[in-house]
Structure 1
Amino acid sequence: MNGPGPLTVVGDVLLDHDIRGDVGRLAPDAPVPVVDVTADLHRAGGAGLAALLAARGGREVVLVTALGEDRASDRLREVLEGRVRLVELPLDGTLPEKTRVLAAGRPLVRIDRGGGEVGPPTAAVREALQRASAVLVADYGRGTADSVRPLLAAAARRAPLVWDPHPRGGPPVPGARLVTPNAAEAAALCPAEDDSLGAHARRGAELAQRWEAVTVAVTLGARGAFLTRPHTPAPMLVPAPYTATGDPCGAGDCFAAIAAAALADGALPEEAVQRAVTGAAAFVAAGGASDPALWRSPGTTAPMDRPVGDAFALADSVRARGGTVVATGGCFDLLHAGHVGLLDSARRIGDCLIVCVNSDASLRRLKGEGRPLTPLEDRLRVLAALGSVDAVVAFEEDTPETLLRSLRPDVWVKGGDYTPEGLPEAAVVREWGGQAVVLPYLDGRSTTRLAARAARAARDSRTTS
């Protein structure tokens, strides 16, 4: 075998079915709302969502799960086709299906159906686990993990294994590199404590010892995650980089998927958890499992990538109350005083400021090889930490025009190294009645000058040493 193996996800899948609509009347034959359907969506849930999230960015992912010959299983295969490689266990019964009826985004009723008995592992399952560069187990207690448990125990001795436990599932196999219970799951297993940070840390250490795990990360939602080890009095708290206010559905799957991918790439558990906390916050801010970008056909691109704060929901909210949406954009490769002054001034123009940021590939095409000096995730995080910035969103194209047509700001701002008539986006924002403006720029500050100054300082240091 050449090169590293795929990331293998093992666990129970289900078909999520959302019926969305509007309610404006009651039925004449009973006091129940009538839902006028506007959308009928099918998505992968459980281990299927975890596998899809792990495969973002082009990573090879194998999903080991139980599927049957029923309609829901066939629909699930269609949803995952071209995204992950399926290795199936036999399912005697029907795939679990969770149907929600929603009005104005709020659930009215949920209907669960389906289920069956998982059969024994096949030779293809054994091969998938033997070739894996890392293994992620999403055990929802429906039989998949139990069916292959001896194989998982052997895999944990060969490769990093991440176990995402759930109340209905069994304990992780010994030797798991990382186990990721949420705070409620950890509290249910170790109930004799309060909900203080110290209690979460003690629970994590106790569970790591009980499960014979290398590390346990107790996820705390908006507070981040606690990384603990057996018998270790000083755990590591990884706080969330910002408060994400979107739909948290699927955040645990996202956390586990990112952590498993990081371990597959050789990261330490501490690094994996830091990446997972940041990635889960961005996932929630983008709308969680309901984010349409997750379910676009393979090969298509969204007008935005990796939002920090839900820029689109923010813009809609500000416009709805009659406010002014201000946006600006750039590379922000090395944040300096000129950037900070521009952002402070731009925020004072309106009621929110959204910053559009060139992706790494976009910046490299614009500035040349050797750039960016700072990767996108770090640039987004630094910008989001500024008090003047309400949301950040990245774009892959050479210009933000596609993103702006989705965002539709009232004011588009650039620094004084442009002229109003020379702004390439000016014509775009005029399409919806927006205005492009140029603000004064702090003279003498630029990323290029900062980089050149740092290079000179490094050369001088080598010369004198």
Structure 2
Amino acid sequence: DAVAGSAAVVLCDYGSGALPGPVQEALQAHRADRLLVVDAHNLRQWRTLRPDLVTPNAQEAARLLDLEFGPDADRAGLVADASRNLLAATGAEAVVATLDRDGTLLVNNDGGAHRTWASPVSEKQASGAGDTFVACLTLARAAGLPLTTSQDLAQVAADVVVHRPGTSVCTTADLAGHLGAFTEAALGAEELARAVAAERSAGRRIVLTNGCFDVLHRGHTTYLTQAKQLGDVLVVALNSDASARRLKGPDRPINHAADRAGVVASLSCVDYVTVFDTDTPIPLIEALKPDIYAKGGDYSPQMLAETPAVEAYGGQLAILDYVSDHSTTAVVKRIRAQDGAGEAAAGTGPA
């Protein structure tokens, strides 16, 4: 009866033997189209249910793939490389591997992948972060959020509890409060310089990228994930409203700088956000001297005005996958078209 009245089912099987058999048969009989998330030590045992999502941890994923993760292994990379085998072994539509300090990695049958990064903690704690992640992931997905958004939100919830002593939970208020803290996310020049200096003194490689990031979409998040993977710390510099207006036209940006900074800062792949008012980020590049300056576009380094500034101090320039502004423009046009249609239907639009 409980299954029949639910929008989602989370199956947690820790290998005690209580769930296989009658419970498995009942789930098979009443599966219908409800969301099924399986969090089990032995995921092969549940593959016949064809789960929507499975959430193996690093050890469980390694066993499924007959791999051994060494202490310095690129676990996310190894899981991504073996994604087809992982999906086949679990029978799932999508796998979200939870990799503790390395965040999480989503792979699915469409060939897509999405990465989150965990907020670091100084000491290992028994916090219930894994259970929190699965619970939030399921709730968000059952509420209709896209899978990648659900994964990002679940990472935030896990970060909340992992920074608390002992075992904890993340309430709705906790989650809202944590996300609300990003509304004042943009750092000033001096504060950012101090933060970058501290990260560099700890031996971390600094990556800088920039853009308007107005009306954030999947192309943006893919690009920022790629930029993060180039180093250890990702700094995102946003064009100010005035700078974006000069670059994009008088009707942009749609979202003010503070709102754009809050959204970008909430992404787990982003470590710091700042806002610059110049037409190019060259002054910021010269001040921060990032190890890597990342730019998305269909051009060569020779075409970039920033290249001489990066090369002057021995930095590297990385050209990432092109994120066309047409995708943002198309989203804006759709929104405005729908608003216009709604106003006309209500009799408030133009005749």
TM-score range (shorter-chain normalised) is 0.3 to 0.5
Bigger proportion of residues as strand: 1
TM-score of the superposition, structure 1-length normalised? 0.37
Bigger proportion of residues as helix: 2
Larger Rg computed on CA atoms: 1
